[in-house]
Amino acid sequence: MTEIEVLQSEIIGCRRCPRLVEWREKVAEQKRAAYAEEVYWGKPVPGFGDPAARLVVVGLAPAAHGANRTGRMFTGDRSGDWLYRALHRAGFASQPSSVDRDDGLVLEDAWVTAPVRCAPPGNKPTTTERDNCVPWLEAELAMLDRARVLVCLGGFAWGVVHRLLSGAGVSVSRPRPSFGHGVVSRTPGLLLIGSYHPSQQNTFTGRLTEEMFDAVFAQVRAVLESPQSLGG
C-alpha cells in the first residue's frame, strides 16, 4: 500500500466522535426510501483522486445519503453532480457524473476531500468534531506535496484550511480574507480560492450558478498553467 492508501485505511477505521459514529450508522441502517435496496457505506469517507494532484478541492463533510451511502466524496448527491460536471468541463475529471465509487470516474491532477469525514446531523459538525478530524486533513495535505491550488467550498472549509496552514507555520494572508465566492488568499507556493458550496441551498436559489462555478476552475487551470502566479 502507498502512504496515502494507508492514511485512507486509517480514516475509514476512525471512531473518534461518538455522536457522528452513531449518526452515520443510524442513517446507514434506516436509509432513504429511494435507496432502500442499497448497502450504505456508513463509515468515515477518505479523500479521492490523483495522489499527484496540483488541485485539491476541500468541502465540508459527507452527505448523509450521498458519500455516507456511496463511500466516495461528493458522490451520489446533487452537490457532487455539480462538482464533477465542473471538474469535467475544466479537464480534471474523466466524466461529468458521480453515481457510486465503482462508476469509473477518474480524477486527473485533482483530489477531493473534506475537513470532516463522517456525515454530521444537519450538516453541522461541532467544534470538537471538527478539531478531532482536522489531523486527517493535515496528514493528507502533507502527502499531497504537489498541491498548488486549494479550492475551499464554503466558509467552513475556508476557515479550517487557513487555521490548519497557520498552525503548521505556513505564512498565510493576514488578516485572513473574509470568505466569499472567488476570494483569493496566497501562501508561498500555494493559492487558496473560495467558492460557494454547490449545496442545493446555493444552487436552487441561484446564489451559485454553473457559470460562477466554472469560472473558479477556469482560474485554477490558468494558475496551474502559469506557475509564476503562485509566488507568495
DSSP 31-81: --GGGTTS----S----EE-TT-SEEEE-S---TTTHHHHSSTT-SSHHHH
CA distance 49 to 47: 7
In CATH, what number is assigned to the domain containing residue 161?
3.40.470.10
pLDDT in tens, 47-106: 999 999 999 999 999 999 999 999 999 999 999 999 999 999 999 999 999 999 999 999
| Domain, as residue range, for 223 | 3-230
**Dihedral angle over CA of 208, 96, 48, 13, nearest 10:** 90
Residue pLDDT, tens place only, 71-84: 999 999 999 999 99
Q: What is the pLDDT of residues 141-185, one digit of tens each?
A: 999 999 999 999 999 999 999 999 987 766 666 677 899 999 999
Residues whose CB is less than 8 angstroms from the CB of residue 21 and which lie 6 or more positions away in sequence, other chains included: 15, 118
Q: Per the structure, how many domains does the chain have?
A: 1
Q: Which helix (H) or strand (E) holds 192?
A: strand 190-195
| DSSP type of residue 100 | S
**What's the DSSP call for residue 26?**
H
Cβ contact 218:208 at 8 Å: no
For residues 122-139, give the mean pLDDT.
97
